[in-house]
Chain A
Amino acid sequence: MKSDEQLMLEYQGGSPHAFEQLFERYRNPVYGFFRRRLNNASRAEELAQETFVVILRDTEQYKPTARFRTYMYAIALKQLWSERRKEIRDGKLAAAVLHEERPQGDPETGLWVRAALEQLDPDHREVLMLREYEQLSYDEIAEVLAVPVNTVRSRLSRARVELKSLLESQSARGVSR
């Protein structure tokens, strides 16, 4: 199987099939990235589309020295931050709470996890989510967030401790009910 970087270079060289493969490879991960971070499924779809469109438009900007995943998630994060700023401006963020349809998988635990993640410090949460859901390495997270690797390491550790405690307290409340 060709690496992402090889496919991107092939696409730069004029092979549309290479980008189709990349799109197929990352359409669900990128959609999942936005879906877990936004409460609006249609907006998540739009931003996932936009991320691929930005990659397409700026194909020439991509240099093979950068890992494609890092490049792609850096674009996705930029879209996300932009969306959040817009939400803050429009006053939507305050109203955005855990709601909507129940998540797939184990609904009960899934909801708990989601609720607990919402309560984490945003910086800690982002590092944890990039690690657990996007499966980025420490180096890749550091590159995407433009922070040192040691910061990633400490944030991840603190995020896990905080999340564990939040899940335990939620679990205790659930049992008591």
Chain B
Amino acid sequence: MSRKEHPVWEEELMPYVDGQLDAAQASEIEKHLKECEECAAVIADARLLSKQMGTWVVENSPRGMDEHVLSEMEKKKGRRQQWAWWSRNRSWAFGLGGAFAAVALMVVLMPSHKDDLSNHFGDASRSVAGQINPAPLQRPAMPQDGNQQGQQGQQGQQGQQGQQTLDSLLAKTLPAAQSQPTAEAPSGPMIIRNARLSILTKEFEAARARIQAIVQQTQGYLDQLTVRGETGSGKSLSATLRLPSSQLESGLVELRKLGKVLEESQGSSDVTSQYVDLQARLTNARNTEQRLLALQRERTDKLTDVVGVEREIARVREEIERMEAQRKDVFNKTQFATIQVELSEEYRAEIQPSAPSAGTQLHNALVDGYHGALNSLLALALFFLRYGPALLLWAIVLVPVALLLRRRLQGLRIG
């Protein structure tokens, strides 16, 4: 069968049989079919085959299916209602929870506060240091949630391991009937907490050292620190501290002791739904990756198909890594509260050094006079050099005119 005799190949006839062509393409094939018995026979065969396949009829689904699916639907409905209750009453729950936490905190801190009043600053810091082991001032290892632990090693070495990782993943996940990594839902609300303190202190350097000590004691880290000091004003410090969320309150208590608190604010944002959504999307992407890996393993198609699957796997993996990073970021933000500290020094003007002696002043005057004379000579020379030629030119023009005028005036007087 040549292309000249048959402008359409047999393979191209199938979309016509299956109604997958647009009107223009279909009419072109219809035109050809009127002239070509061979192609018309192919179409007739395909239709007959479709009819024959239609003779294999299976029974309807058993009614027992309903029970299982509908019971699952009821369970889901229950979960949704619980979530809806949480969404409606979340603010109340947080409010009550916050109130209980505040009362508990007050009860816990009351005796130590009394001690603090009777002790010096250093004593108080020692008492805190006694409770918490000092840690070096460095960014601590981030806490790891369940999924992170599961992903350990896979993230960092992915580029090197290549096919090995792919195979190990495949081996790990495929045997399971449900090859879906289950997303771990957060056990409670996930809150990002932050606070801002503006403090005025008399002992700037001590306060600065104390900030670093607080960071160490709470096992947090110093995200950013800027110190400014200008003549005529006190020093100021701007720092961003990241303390474990559980240590936020104790950290704030210690920071307030640095001096006079000018301004304080606290805030929080609930990222539970964002985290759950991210988790769900991550699970979905991992499922897709597993499907693709299964395809890659089971298919022995053309090279272009295999390359296509591999490209898709790479894309999905990139997406998974991006979402995993976002999820870690959100998780870490909930684990470490942010405190923005603005520390200002109470400025005390310093006595200026004494005025210079008379000899020094005379010497200075003499030097200034010498420089002034030199400068005026130089200025005069510059003036003549700059304007001399122009003055000479005008003199050549104007002097004869002036002389002429003068003679005439004298002639008039005599006359």
A residues with a Cβ closer than 8 A to B are 14, 16, 19-20, 23, 27-28, 30-32, 35-36, 45, 48-49, 52-53, 56-61, 74, 78, 81-83, 85-86, 89, 103-106, 109-110, 112-114, 117, 123, 128, 131-133, 137-138, 145-148, 151, 153-154, 156-157, 160-161, 163-164, 167
A78 to B66 alpha-carbon distance, docked (Å) = 21
- A104 and B14: CB pair below 8 A? no
Q: Is B174 in contact with chain A by the CB < 8 A criterion?
A: yes
Q: How many residues of B are counted as interface, with CB atoms below 8 angstroms from the partner's CB atoms?
A: 56
Q: Is B64 in contact with chain A by the CB < 8 A criterion?
A: yes
Sample 9 A-B pairs with CB under 8 A, ordered by A number. Answer: A19-B73, A52-B65, A81-B294, A103-B57, A105-B54, A138-B20, A145-B295, A147-B299, A157-B11
Nearest residue, chain A, Cβ from B17: A160
Residues from chain A with a CB closer than 8 A to the CB of B280 are 58, 60-61
- A27 and B55: CB pair below 8 A? no
Residues from chain A with a CB closer than 8 A to the CB of B46 are 160
A45 to B312 alpha-carbon distance, docked (Å) = 32
| Interface class of chain A by DSSP | helix
- Known A-B contacts A104-B58, A147-B305; the reply to A61 vs B284 at CB < 8 A is yes
- B291 and A146: CB pair below 8 A? yes
- A27 and B65: CB pair below 8 A? yes
Q: Which of B43-64 contact A (CB under 8 A)?
A: 45-46, 49-50, 52-62, 64
| Interface class of chain B by DSSP | helix
- A156 and B14: CB pair below 8 A? yes
A148 to B49 alpha-carbon distance, docked (Å) = 24
Known contacts A52-B72, A57-B76, A61-B281; 8 further A-B pairs (Cβ under 8 A): A23-B69, A32-B58, A60-B280, A61-B283, A104-B59, A146-B312, A151-B302, A151-B305
Q: Which of B52, B69, B298 contacts A167 (CB 8 A)?
A: B52
Q: Is B160 in contact with chain A by the CB < 8 A criterion?
A: no
Nearest residue, chain A, Cβ from B69: A52
The A/B interface has a contact count, at CB < 8 Å, of 146
Residues from chain B with a CB closer than 8 A to the CB of A153 are 11, 14-15
A113 to B66 alpha-carbon distance, docked (Å) = 30
A19 to B11 alpha-carbon distance, docked (Å) = 39
Stretch at the interface among B99-107, B175-183, B231-239: B175-183
Q: Is B304 in contact with chain A by the CB < 8 A criterion?
A: yes
Residues from chain A with a CB closer than 8 A to the CB of B52 are 109, 112-113, 167
- B57 and A110: CB pair below 8 A? yes
B residues with a Cβ closer than 8 A to A are 10-11, 14-15, 18, 20, 45-46, 49-50, 52-62, 64-66, 68-70, 72-73, 76-77, 80, 174-179, 277, 280-281, 283-284, 291-292, 294-295, 298-299, 301-302, 304-305, 308-309, 312
A106 to B55 alpha-carbon distance, docked (Å) = 5
Q: How far is the CB of B282 from chain A (nearest CB, A)?
A: 11
Nearest residue, chain A, Cβ from B302: A151
- B57 and A16: CB pair below 8 A? no
Residues from chain A with a CB closer than 8 A to the CB of B309 are 146
A20 to B65 alpha-carbon distance, docked (Å) = 12
Residues from chain B with a CB closer than 8 A to the CB of A109 are 52, 55-56
- A59 and B76: CB pair below 8 A? yes
Q: Which of B20, B54, B281 contacts A137 (CB 8 A)?
A: B20
Q: Which of B65, B77, B177, B312 has the most CB of A within 10 A?
A: B65
Residues from chain A with a CB closer than 8 A to the CB of B56 are 36, 103, 105, 109-110, 113-114, 117
Residues from chain B with a CB closer than 8 A to the CB of A36 are 56, 58
Q: Which of B52, B53, B68 has the most CB of A within 10 A?
A: B53
Residues from chain B with a CB closer than 8 A to the CB of A147 are 299, 301, 305, 308
Q: How far is the CB of A163 from chain B (nearest CB, A)?
A: 6
